[in-house]
């Protein structure tokens, strides 16, 4: 994310967010500015030339994300890891800033059809570039089903599993905010790769298209599939959305 991009309401950052000492102590930490709040209370801060992702508690393992970023960065544009630190119950992942702006911020939010196509094309390029045979991690349907807490929901989903159409290295959280778009309107990088692993392509794609409705409103899902270059698969779309919502 561009550190000069002002946070928007969509970034979820509270006004006057405190800068944790572990962030303030970084080189350039006196300039740290909160630019993103994740769903489990972690904050991302922009510093000159770098971003610092801070998390308290164990809801997210940033060491796992650092390992995935380092691997994926050999094949796709992703933030380069500068450092990882764990102090007490705090974690801090520092990466180099990559060009682009989150697809849910301006100007891309005001260009939903173009942005949705760019998201689909960006995910296709991501899937095509990452080698399945060499990926050390998995994000399989079976593993994910095992994490569904409700046994009835787990049994129902297992019975509805449509099987594999194509294995790819999935992003694992391919929602629209996690793709950066460059000034040319094309995907410039992917971020938040903490769940990256080999899985069914629709596990990523169905959720990406669903997230477009959350962020741009209804009517743009087909643009995602058009950008990816694939026809919608209703059975797999329904299954992987239900699995996402059940986890």
Query: Which of left, alpha, beta for 223 (phi over 0: left; psi -120 to 50: alpha)?
Result: alpha
The predicted pLDDT at position 69 comes to 98
Tens of pLDDT, residue by residue over 109-134, are: 999 999 999 999 999 999 999 999 99
**234 Cβ contact partners less than 8 Å away, ≥ 6 residues apart:** none
> Hey, how many other C-beta atoms are within 10 angstroms of the C-beta on 214?
11
Domain residue spans of the chain = 9-96, 101-246
User: Could you report how far apart the first and last alpha carbons of the chain are, in Å?
Assistant: 28
Do the first three CATH levels of 9-96 and 101-246 match, i.e. the same topology?
Answer: no
Tell me the pTM.
Answer: 0.91
The predicted pLDDT at position 11 comes to 56
Q: Is the peptide bond before 107 cis (omega within 30 degrees of 0)?
A: yes
Topology of the domain covering 9-96: Phosphorylase Kinase; domain 1 (3.30.200)
For residues 190 and 172, the answer to whether their CB atoms sit within 8 Å is no
The predicted pLDDT at position 17 comes to 81
Average pLDDT for runs of 10 along the chain of length 247: 41 74 96 89 94 93 97 97 96 96 94 98 98 98 96 97 97 96 96 97 98 96 98 98 96
The predicted pLDDT at position 58 comes to 84
The predicted pLDDT at position 12 comes to 63
Tens of pLDDT, residue by residue over 157-175, are: 999 999 999 999 999 999 9
Q: CA 56, CA 92: separation in Å to the nearest integer? A: 9
The predicted pLDDT at position 8 comes to 42
Q: Which uninterrupted H or E stretch holds 168?
A: strand 167-170
Topology of the domain covering 101-246: Aminoglycoside 3'-phosphotransferase; Chain: A, domain 2 (3.90.1200)
The predicted pLDDT at position 188 comes to 97
């Amino acid at each position: 994310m561009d550190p000069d991009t002002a946070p928007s309401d969509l970034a979820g950052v509270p006004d006057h967010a405190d800068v944790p000492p572990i962030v303030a102590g970084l080189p350039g930490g006196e300039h740290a500015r909160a630019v993103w709040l994740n769903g489990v209370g972690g904050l991302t801060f922009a510093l000159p030339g770098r971003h610092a992702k801070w998390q308290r508690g164990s809801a997210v393992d940033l060491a796992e994300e650092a390992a995935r970023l380092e691997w994926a960065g050999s094949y796709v544009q992703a933030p380069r890891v500068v450092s990882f630190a764990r102090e007490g119950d705090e974690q801090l992942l520092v990466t180099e800033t990559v060009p682009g702006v989150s697809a849910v911020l301006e100007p891309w939010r005001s260009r939903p059809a173009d942005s949705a196509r760019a998201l689909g094309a960006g995910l296709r390029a991501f899937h095509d570039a990452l080698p399945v045979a060499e990926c050390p991690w998995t994000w399989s349907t079976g593993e994910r089903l095992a994490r569904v807490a409700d046994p009835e929901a787990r049994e129902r989903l297992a019975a509805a599993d449509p099987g594999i159409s194509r294995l790819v290295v999935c992003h694992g959280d391919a929602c629209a905010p996690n793709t950066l778009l460059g000034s040319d309107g094309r995907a410039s990088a992917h971020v938040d790769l903490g769940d990256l692993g080999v899985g069914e392509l629709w596990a990523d794609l169905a959720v990406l298209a669903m997230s477009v409705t959350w962020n741009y409103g209804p009517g743009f899902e087909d643009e995602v599939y058009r950008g990816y270059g694939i026809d919608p698969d209703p059975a797999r779309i329904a299954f992987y959305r239900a699995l996402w919502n059940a986890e």
